[in-house]
Amino acid sequence: MIRTIRCRHLKLYNTLSLLLTKRSTMSDARSHALGIFQSAVDSVIPRTMVTQALKCNGNSLLVNGTTYQLDHNVHIVAFGKAVAGMVRATEDVLGDHVVDGIASVPIGVAQSLRDSGRSDLLPSETSKTKLLEGATNNLPDEAAHRTASLIADFATALTRDDILIILISGGGSALLPSPIPPVTLEDIAQVTKVLSKNGATIQELNIVRKNLEQLKGGGLAQLAYPAKVVSLILSDVIGDSLDIIASGPTVPECSTPDMCLALFEKMKLVSQVPQSIMSMLSATTTSPVEQPPPNVFTNVNNVLIGSNRIALDGAYKKAKRLGYVPFVVSCELAGDVRQMARMYHKLVNYIILSLVKTLQQPNVLPRCELELLDCGIHKDTLNKLSTTIEFANNIQKPLCILGGGESTVTVVGSGRGGRNQEMALLVAMQLYRQSIDEPGGILEKFGVEFLSAGTDGQDGPTDAAGAYADVGDICTACNSGIKPEDYLANNDSYTFFSEVRDGKSLVKTGFTGTNVMDVQVLLIHKK
């Protein structure tokens, strides 16, 4: 009898514990999403990546299987949003062997890092490398142009006894503008704005830049020859193609002026592109291409040290520690932000339908699967996701779906925001509309949280990295007389999230000191 009572008490205790765990899961979901994103960022902090790449033993430096002799002969050139921390780590590893250096960094980066409590990502007070700021709003400007000219002179002066360490991260293209006359800096800025506003991918933008500028498309490596070049690269592009990252300043170029002209035609932008650019590209297509010296690129050691894939691995491990069953959809998600939001909405439905199979009508789940295939999700990925969903259901744990990449926004309004904030608002809006159209439907049985944020801590011209949102955000807004669709129509997602819930749904990390594109975190748990 005593044993029976004890068993009943144990069962009651276990039931109450499970209920409390579920309630905790719901209340903590937002902090969990933020913590998972922060872990993604922490896994690609410059110090960790640089120290893993540079192995120093006395006067020998081993990088990616190649040994270099150190004799106070190291020079540093850096450009990008994350290179301040990369400079600090490089100088810490190589010490007095570093002679001098120049780093082109975004306007305000030093102050932003101090404000974020990340002074450890700035060069030390005894640094040999000058930090020069430029590229306001991630656009090439006169300050960045002056620094690029200094870098060109700096590289040209090196000899075969020198080692040039080039540190590259996202934003490097705007921070290394070097237009080939008669193209001007203003022309470069204008064509960049035109392409960006009309939804050009980073790959398309950089193809154009490489054909209009001296230092891009392998140009910097050519100027540095015959010095030995070690290029440490933090990827901010889909697929991690080294010729695309920062427009490939140390990688042989394979694009042509014809490709640029074809892009302008395809996007119907010929009339908006400066005439100097059109004339130069047209003239170049009929002129013989100048070839670099034959040994230039055999003298270059390009090393990829960080990527979105590494960030998602960090997020995966954190989600698992928090009690979720994690699954990575892809680290190469790209395209229009509305299409990506639609894909995540379909993913929510697919997962929930898989969890409540007994309640659905015949063929609903297969139809949802076809829609995801149409969104670009591979069949093999869906098969693995299905297995993960079943596993999570069997052990009664919530799911964490992770994705990474970079979306694009076609700007039609005059509001403030960025691709991540807009995606979060779009996903929440689609879930809200579904809950209105299907009262008592499957969504009411689950909690769904969605976060999208940039690993660099900056989403568009705002102080937010992104946002997290759910149906509750939209309900709160509508009850306050705020119409989310009006904000979306004006590309004004930042203002929306600032006005709803006192801005608590905005993800504000400050400048992180790294940059490997964006991370999405989708949490799904039973209510």
How would you write 399-419 as a 3-class SS string? Answer: EEEEEEEEEECCCCCCCCCCH
Residues 204 and 91 in one domain: yes
**296 and 334 belong to one structural domain:** no
**514 with 402, same domain?**
yes
**31 in any annotated domain:** no
- Report the C-alpha gap between 386 and 384 in whole angstroms: 5
The domain total for the chain is 2
Q: Are residues 69 and 192 in the same domain?
A: yes
Domain end, chosen from 273, 307, 341, is at 307
- For the beta sheet containing 55-57, the strands, ordered from the edge strand earlier in sequence to the opposite edge, are 55-57, 60-63, 66-69
For residue 24, tell me if it sits in a domain: no
Say whether pLDDT at 22 is over 90.
Answer: no
Does pLDDT of 26 surpass 50?
no
Burial class (CB in 10 A: 0-12, 13-18, 19+), 314: buried
In this structure, are 313 and 302 located in the same domain?
no
- Helix, strand, or coil (residue 371): helix
φ, ψ dihedrals at 428, nearest 5°: -60, -40
Confidence of residue 95 (pLDDT cuts 50, 70, 90): very high
Q: Do 336 and 60 contact (CB within 8 A), yes or no?
A: no
148 compared with 359, residue with greater pLDDT: 148
CATH assignment at residue 395:
3.40.1480.10
The answer on pLDDT for 114 being more than 80 is yes
192-245 confidence digits (pLDDT tens): 889 988 989 878 988 998 999 999 999 999 999 999 999 999 998 889 999 989
> What's the whole-number mean pLDDT along residues 295-324?
95
Instruction: Supply the DSSP string of 452-494, one letter for each residue.
Output: EEETTS--SSSS-SEEEE-HHHHHHHHHTT--HHHHHHTT-HH
Name the DSSP letter for residue 330.
E
SS3 52: helix
Query: In this structure, are 175 and 294 located in the same domain?
Result: yes
| Claim to verify: residue 179 and residue 85 sit in the same structural domain | yes
What single-letter amino acid sits at 52?
Answer: Q
User: Over pLDDT 90: what percentage of the chain?
Assistant: 74
The domain that contains 246 carries what CATH number?
3.40.50.10180
> Containing domain of residue 207, as a range?
47-307
Report the pLDDT value the prediction gives residue 27, as an integer from 0 to 100. 53
Q: What is the DSSP string of 385-402?
A: HHHHHHHHHHHT--EEEE
- 252 with 357, same domain: the answer is no
Q: What is the mean pLDDT of residues 155-179?
A: 95
In a domain, 402, yes or no: yes
Measured CA to CA, the distance from residue 343 to residue 385 in angstroms comes to 14
Structure tokens at 296: 């230039």
Residues in contact with 373: Cβ distance below 8 Å, sequence separation at least 6, in sequence order: 379, 382
| Cβ–Cβ < 8 Å for 442, 515 | no
Contact (CB, 8 A) for 202 and 273: no
Separation CA 292–CA 229 (nearest Å): 15
| pLDDT tens, residue by residue, 336-362 | 999 999 999 999 999 999 998 765 667
The pLDDT tens digits of the residues spanning 356-377 come to: 876 566 788 889 999 999 999 9
Name residue 327's beta-bridge partners: 401
Instruction: Look up residue 123 and give its DSSP letter.
Output: -
* pLDDT on residue 308: 96
Q: Do 77 and 196 reside in the same domain of the chain? A: yes
257, 274, 307: which is the final residue of a domain?
Answer: 307
Helices (H) and strands (E) in the chain, counts: 18, 15
Distances in whole angstroms, Cα of residue 15 to Cα of each of 11, 26, 228, 447: 6, 17, 66, 20
Tokens 């297509």 map to which residue? 285
